[in-house]
Amino acid sequence: MNIETTRQSSAATSGAVIVTGAGGAAGVAVIRALTHRRRVVGADCDPSAVGLHLAAESGLIPHASDPDFVRQLAKLAHRTKATALVCTVAEEIPALRAEQELLTEAGLASWLPTAEAVRSCTDKWRFAQICRQHAIPAPATALGSTQGVPGPWIVKPRFGRGSRDIYAVDTVEELRWVRPRVQDPLVQTRISGQEFTVDALVDPNGQLAGAVPRWRLETKAGISTKGRTFHCQPLVALVARLLDILGLGGPANIQGFQTAAGEFVFTEVNPRFSGGLPLSLAAGADLVGEYLRGLEGLPVRPERLLARPGVTMLRHLDEVFTR
């Protein structure tokens, strides 16, 4: 497995940790998980990102599509004396990989999956093809048509995030109306059943070090607001195989459904920490702490990634006030 890491000894990397995507649910979860251990620097391209106010320090960086993105991130590391990077935005990873020498020169240790593995996740058509080629259970999928895809359907962008522009479609007439409104529409058979996420961490040797399955009992805008951990070794074994096929290293969250017949069907993999991460952390799996250890050249400890089943999360709103 080709996993890019730029790691230093734990003594050399005891400085601040930069967490990108500080405005997202995953970024906020990681910032909160690290606050009691290390000085945290929140980074985001949005000046109103809430995580900028939750971290000890903060910095604005350009969007990942900006040619100056990595250089500005390196400057933030210099300014804050940060020595480690946690990226919670999948779309940032290819840019970080392409100019990783800038991070190294800034003394910023990182642990990033390959750009190819990230593309296999963020390109949902490519992900569907990989699942089909390797007999991984996944919905029937086509680009822009229903050919070979039984209804009812889900229509979503081939490249998209955060449950944006996703439509549930029951009839051909509805499908005709929806397709022009979705960029690069992907048409999938709609799977019914109990929705799940698995929070996982693959160690630098390519081995699945820990995986926490949790039911998504309620979601809003793609983020789990109610959930419950559960134990299922057959699901974890399927996840290990899928992540190995994708070549992913580091954190990942895997989503899908368990059908009425008991089959697990995978709908997507995100090469980053999840928005529902606090539930896995609360259940006892120190995914963030062990990721930081792996990033800094220390062994990832699978015994620290075990979670208690039956832990329930009931999420509520919180506020941050600024002047």
Residue 216 structure tokens: 């998504």
| 215 and 296 within one domain | yes
- What is the number of structural domains in the chain? 3
pLDDT tens for 168-209 read 999 999 999 999 999 999 999 999 999 999 999 999 999 999
What per-residue confidence (pLDDT) applies to 8?
43
DSSP characters for 84-111? EEE---GGGHHHHHHTHHHHHHTT-BEE
What per-residue confidence (pLDDT) applies to 2?
39
| 180 and 200 within one domain | no
| 164 and 214 within one domain | no
Q: Considering the domain boundaries, does residue 90 fall inside one?
A: yes
What per-residue confidence (pLDDT) applies to 223?
84
What per-residue confidence (pLDDT) applies to 72?
98
What per-residue confidence (pLDDT) applies to 12?
42
Q: Considering the domain boundaries, does residue 93 fall inside one?
A: yes
Give the structural domain span for 148: 140-189
Q: Specify the length of the chain in residues.
A: 323
Q: Considering the domain boundaries, does residue 133 fall inside one?
A: no
pLDDT tens for 283-305 read 999 999 999 999 999 999 999 99
| 254 and 306 within one domain | yes
Three-state secondary structure call for residue 181 = helix
| 169 and 240 within one domain | no
pLDDT at 13 over 80: no
Q: CA-based Rg of the chain, rounded to a whole angstrom?
A: 19
What per-residue confidence (pLDDT) applies to 283?
98
Closest to 110 in 3D by CA, of 268, 4, 213, 239: 4
Q: Considering the domain boundaries, does residue 175 fall inside one?
A: yes
Average pLDDT, the chain: 93
What per-residue confidence (pLDDT) applies to 10?
40
Pairwise pLDDT comparison (48 vs 5), residue with the higher score = 48
Three-state secondary structure call for residue 310 = coil
Which of 159, 189, 219 is where one domain is finished? 189
| 309 and 274 within one domain | yes
pLDDT tens for 217-273 read 998 877 889 999 999 999 999 999 999 999 999 999 999 999 999 999 999 999 999
Q: Considering the domain boundaries, does residue 125 fall inside one?
A: no
Which of 189, 222, 257 is where one domain is finished? 189
Q: Considering the domain boundaries, does residue 132 fall inside one?
A: no
pLDDT tens for 100-145 read 999 999 999 999 999 999 999 999 999 999 999 999 999 999 998 9
| 203 and 145 within one domain | no
User: Residue 72 maps to which CATH number?
Assistant: 3.40.50.20
Q: Considering the domain boundaries, does residue 122 fall inside one?
A: no
Query: Can you list the positions of beta strands (E) in the chain?
Result: 4-6, 16-20, 40-44, 57-60, 82-86, 110-112, 141-143, 153-157, 167-169, 185-189, 194-202, 208-220, 223-229, 250-258, 264-270, 312-314
pLDDT at 3 over 80: no
| 27 and 105 within one domain | yes
Which of 94, 113, 132 is where one domain is finished? 113
Three-state secondary structure call for residue 131 = helix
User: Residue 208 maps to which CATH number?
Assistant: 3.30.470.20
| 156 and 101 within one domain | no
| 238 and 160 within one domain | no
| 210 and 155 within one domain | no
| CB-based contact 140:154 (threshold 8 Å) | no
Closest to 69 in 3D by CA, of 39, 44, 40, 86: 44
pLDDT tens for 61-101 read 999 999 999 999 999 999 999 999 999 999 999 999 999 99
Residue 9: band (very low, low, confident or very high) from pLDDT cuts 50, 70, 90? very low
| 183 and 215 within one domain | no
pLDDT tens for 146-157 read 999 999 999 999
Q: Considering the domain boundaries, does residue 126 fall inside one?
A: no
